Amino acid sequence: MGVSKEILILTDFTQTCYDSVSYGLDISRFYGLKPVVFHAETLCGFDMLQKEKTEEIVRLYNQKFNIGATLVIRQGTFEDIVLDEIRNTKFLFVILGTHGKSGFQTLTGSFAAKLVIALKVPILVLQSRRFLPVKKVLFPFFKAMEISEEYFSDVIPLVRTFQNAELHLVCRPEARENTEKFISMFLEGVEDLEYNLSVLSGTQPLARQLADYCVAQDIEMIFNYPAQSDTVQLHTVFEQLMFNIQQIPVMCKYF
């Protein structure tokens, strides 16, 4: 069975989500994906002007680039119908716009973060950043991460979706053995896949080291895949990466 080419772009018809819809349409056009722009209509209503703007940009992208984008509006509780939509369709990933940490509040206190934690599909979290072709992907590796085919089953397909972007595996010395095991199990011998391993040293917080690495290497996307068995400290790193100050898009999957 081939890899799904459909992506789900969530919107609540705000400016923040309009920006993420624009990014989602751009990434779809560039990589040959099929976008579904999705809005859940509740009793609270929505901004009609933003709705019209979203309808117009979907129409323009279809007219100019023929990407087959659709705008779906369903009535009901946002959480329920989004989960239902994801259960019924195999999406490659979901796009979710945010103001940053103030928008999500905390990992346990907002629906958006709960969505990241609850779903078994990658979610691309976007802050205010324009689309850039994905040439380099950062994959931080933690000591507690499990080595299993199921855990990493979408890493290589996603990298290949981004036209074989270079995969940067980054770890601290204590996680090097796990990282090298992952390379030997899943990466060695894979044709047309570029990757490299960098072992970080020093005493700075891990999130700060990863942020510095992203700047130095011009990373365009971060894969943020912690396991639930990880420590509270790594949960903090998960949050810090999600809301990184460089506003690099972050592909999140929480196990």
The answer on 143 and 243 residing in a single domain is yes
Contacts of 230 (CB under 8 A, 6+ apart): 142, 144, 145, 238
In the chain, where does DSSP find H-type helix? 15-31, 48-65, 78-88, 101-104, 111-118, 155-161, 176-182, 206-217, 232-242
Same domain for 78 and 172: no
CA distance 206 to 138: 14
Domain residues for the domain of 28 are: 6-126
Residue 110 has what pLDDT?
A: 54
Same domain assignment for residues 203 and 140: yes
Which pLDDT tens digit goes with each residue over 131-165?
999 999 999 987 766 667 766 677 888 888 998 79
- Whether 176 is in a domain gets the answer yes
Q: Is residue 173 part of a domain?
A: yes
Q: Identify whether 254 is part of a domain.
A: no
Residue 31 lies inside a defined structural domain of this protein: yes
* pLDDT of res. 229: 55
The reply to whether 93 and 166 lie within a common domain is no
Of 133, 226, 158, nearest to 5 by C-alpha is 158
Answer yes or no: do 162 and 118 share one domain. no
Query: In the chain, how many domains are there?
Result: 2
Give the domain-ending residue among 126, 149, 180.
126
Q: How far apart are CA 44 and CA 4, in angstroms?
A: 33
Between the two ends of the chain, the Cα-to-Cα distance in Å is: 24
Tokens standing for residue 175: 């996680």
Provide the CA 163 distance to its chain's centre, in angstroms. Answer: 16
User: What pLDDT was estimated at residue 7?
Assistant: 96
In a domain, 131, yes or no: no
The string of pLDDT tens digits covering residues 5-36 is: 999 999 988 888 899 999 999 999 999 999 99
- CA dist., res. 92 & res. 4, Å (int): 5
Cα dist. 14→19, 20, 83, 243 in Å? 9, 10, 21, 19
Q: Average pLDDT, stretch 169-194?
A: 88
Does 148 share its domain with 226? yes
CATH of the domain at 16: 3.40.50.620
Query: What is the Cα–Cα distance from 42 to 21, expressed in whole angstroms?
Result: 20
Same domain, 95 and 184: no
Which amino acid belongs to residue 8? L
pLDDT of residue 103: 41
